[in-house]
Chains A and B, each alone.
Chain A
């Protein structure tokens, strides 16, 4: 069962890592489609 527990922990780590990376690279709709004159929030 250690493999199962490790895998489930890895899912959380990968998901949190993905969230941090994606939020830091600026690919959200608000950032891609906004300009100085347009705010999408």
Chain B
């Protein structure tokens, strides 16, 4: 028995030594474990390399827009993440893109339905052959300056919102990127022609686009457009044209001011305000594009003789009698002393 004990003595000593070491290790580890657990509950982790603040706290501050220290001139770069940009992106790719497209096509089908059901607005009594000058050279110049630049801005602008979904899958990333960059430059520079046109048409036509005594009668009869009844009298511009004029002036002014801020970013506004500026620019441009569908329709195939007023400047006297009777009466009153009319039978008109 004693021999067996003697044989296992080293093993017992080893076990006892291990037990003592384990007890010491446990005694030393308990406070450490307690301190670590306490630190974690306060959001802190041990270690000197990455600081003693948890990653969650760091990223929370980043998401809240905390600014760091930088040495480059662009102070905005100090903010690593600007979370309001997520709201802007969802607004731009959501309501502006989706609702804008839906509204545009709804207007397109309304116009198409009008055309199919009501048909183009014809002259009540055919052409008289006598021409009346409706728009002077400078008026037509101002109109086409605004209209031409608007079409360019609309195409390049629509590409910025919808191009990556509609065009990029067809032509590929590289070509799309090149075209869009080129289109952005065109958008930036043609905008100045649009603003010039806007100022011109405002000063040329504002006096004729104020409310007058014919407007209420025009509204009550729906402009004579919905049903084939007698057209209500109007001065140079009827209420529908006045609505379009003020929509273009107000919408165009908003687009110009917001566009200038996008062209010269961060001069007056900070990052979040710039995102609002862009959202307003995109929304208003969609509204104006929608209105232009109706304007282009009624100015071309929707109304007989309407386009010639902006191409040659002259309209048939019967057209003026149908749509702008009060204005024609003013013209006739001045006819004796004003050489605005062209004798019947003269091909074209000396517009310029």
Contact = CB atoms under 8 A, between A and B. Distances in A.
B264 A7 contact: no
9 contacts: A1-B312, A4-B144, A7-B197, A10-B145, A11-B145, A15-B193, A18-B189, A34-B73, A37-B72
A2 to B, nearest CB: 5
A10 to B, nearest CB: 6
Interface string B177-221: 000000001101111110011000000000000000000000000
Interface string B332-352: 000000000000000000011
B71 interface: yes
B140 interface: yes
Interface of B: 71-74, 137, 140-145, 148-149, 152, 185-186, 188-193, 196-197, 264-265, 310-313, 351-352
Given A4-B311, A18-B192, A38 B145 contact: no
A40 B62 CA distance: 24
A19 B149 CA distance: 15
Nearest to A17: B192
A14 B144 CA distance: 14
A11 B190 contact: yes
Contacts of A7: 140-145, 148, 197
B74 A33 contact: yes
Nearest to A38: B72
Contact of B137 (A3, A16, A35): A3
B307 to A, nearest CB: 11
Nearest to B185: A19
A2 B185 CA distance: 27
A41 interface: no
Contact of B196 (A4, A14, A33, A37): A14
The 7 closest A-B pairs by CB, nearest first: A7-B144, A3-B140, A33-B74, A15-B189, A14-B193, A7-B145, A11-B193
A2 B189 contact: no
Nearest to B187: A15
A33 B71 CA distance: 11
